[in-house]
Amino acid sequence: MKQTQGVFFSGYVTIQVIGHHPELFFDLCAKKGVTVWNVKKRENTVCTGNIFLKDISLVKSLRRRTIYKITFLHKKGAPFLSRRILSKKPLLISLFLSILFVTFLSNIVWDVQVKGVHPEIEKRITKQLNEYGIYPGAMKFKLESPGEIQKKLLDDIPELLWVGVNEKGTTFHLEGVEKTVVDEREEHGPNHLIAKKEGVIVDMFVAKGQPIVKVNDFVEKGDLLVSGVLGKKNEETSKDEEGKKVNRGELVEAEGEIIAKTWYESEVTIPLKANYDILTGDSINKYFLTFGKFNLQIWGFKNPEYNQVQMELNERKFQFFQWDLPIGFVTQKVQEKELRRVERTQEEAVEAGIKQAKNNLQNKLGHEAEISFEKVLHERIENGKVKLILYFTARENIAITQPISQGD
């Protein structure tokens, strides 16, 4: 007899042979290529054994050539099991619809929880989430990833220092930390105002303290601008126990703005020829169902006539309760992209370089500073690029605080 493997998946039957020396019939089957096993002699004229489902027709043909009587006792294996299951269509349909319904419910947002922030900020977060399409009843596979949602919230709500977005099953959990505005003035004691950089004073606004400098004075970094010691020109001094001079005037927290004219040198390089990829704004969406590594397109079959494209993929896995299924929904955004070739003259490159350097300096100094361009200190063309050294002047507040110690 041949070895049998995978008999459950192939299916097999147990037959009973009745006749004189019934074991001879199984011997005949084996000679004709029929795999038989578990042959047992029950009585002198009764013998049982197993054969594969596929060999039934051959066994019936062999029986017709003999005087033996065959009875099929048991049918086992996957083919028979599947037939029994398929015969119960109402049960199968109910089971399929139940699984489909549970899967559908598992892919709906049922709750959005926001914690750790003030109620007013919580309302703003909830409003922004609604604009993103995140609300109870929304389909999860249409939403962006938690990382993208977190980035959007931080951009749209400046009062948030940090926000965590966590998707747990059918609930979105958000926990935020607000930016704390500390009134530093309450923590400060008496202080002077000193210069943080050199410049020429062009304007002064002193709210508290005694001015030491005046308009048109040149000051260097660290020079005293406004004193936090009020007295008769800071001359009311005496000696302490160690013999050091100590000003005995009234100590205050100096406040004000000292606007000075400052100057900067900036180096910048601008190519005469450059290529830029830009998005035109035209785009289409394609939608796919994914089954493992296989993608099935379900919408957006039209192919756009774009020469160059940029693609963005957003994939969301379907869930069954808290488990991710090997089935997902993919949105593919196809955006039109154009290559722009820019050729500048030397004058245009210089103008672009001045604008770029001024913007960089403005970002460095802040929006309150007023920057004006003075002149080009050096200009040369090298390897198809214009290299510039530029001179700028600015009007900015150069005052910073310096605490007053007992030795001042």
Burial category of 389 from C-beta neighbours within 10 Å (exposed 0-12, middle 13-18, buried 19 and up): middle
Domain limits, CATH 3.10.20.310, in the chain? 111-178
Q: List the one residue out of 104, 116, 23, 17 whose CA is nearest residue 68.
A: 17
Q: Does domain 10-82 have CATH number 1.10.3720.10?
A: no
- In whole angstroms, give the CA distance from residue 392 to residue 199: 13
Residue 264 confidence (pLDDT) = 94
CATH fold of the domain at 111-178: Ubiquitin-like (UB roll) (3.10.20)
Spatial contact of 202 and 261, defined as CB atoms under 8 Å apart: yes
Helix, strand or coil, per DSSP, at residue 211: strand
pLDDT at 147: 84
Q: Which residue ranges of the chain lie beneath pLDDT 70?
A: 1-5, 180-188, 231-249, 406-408
The whole-angstrom separation of Cα 70 and Cα 136 is 65
Amino acid identity at 181: V
The number of C-alpha atoms within 13 Å of 137 and in the hemisphere containing its C-beta is: 1
Task: Report the C-alpha gap between 108 and 138 in whole angstroms.
Answer: 6
333 sits in which H/E element: strand 323-343
Q: Rounded distance, CA 385 to CA 405, Å?
A: 54
- Residue 90 exposure: Cα atoms within 13 Å on the Cβ side: 0
Domain(s) of CATH 3.30.70.250: residues in the chain: 10-82
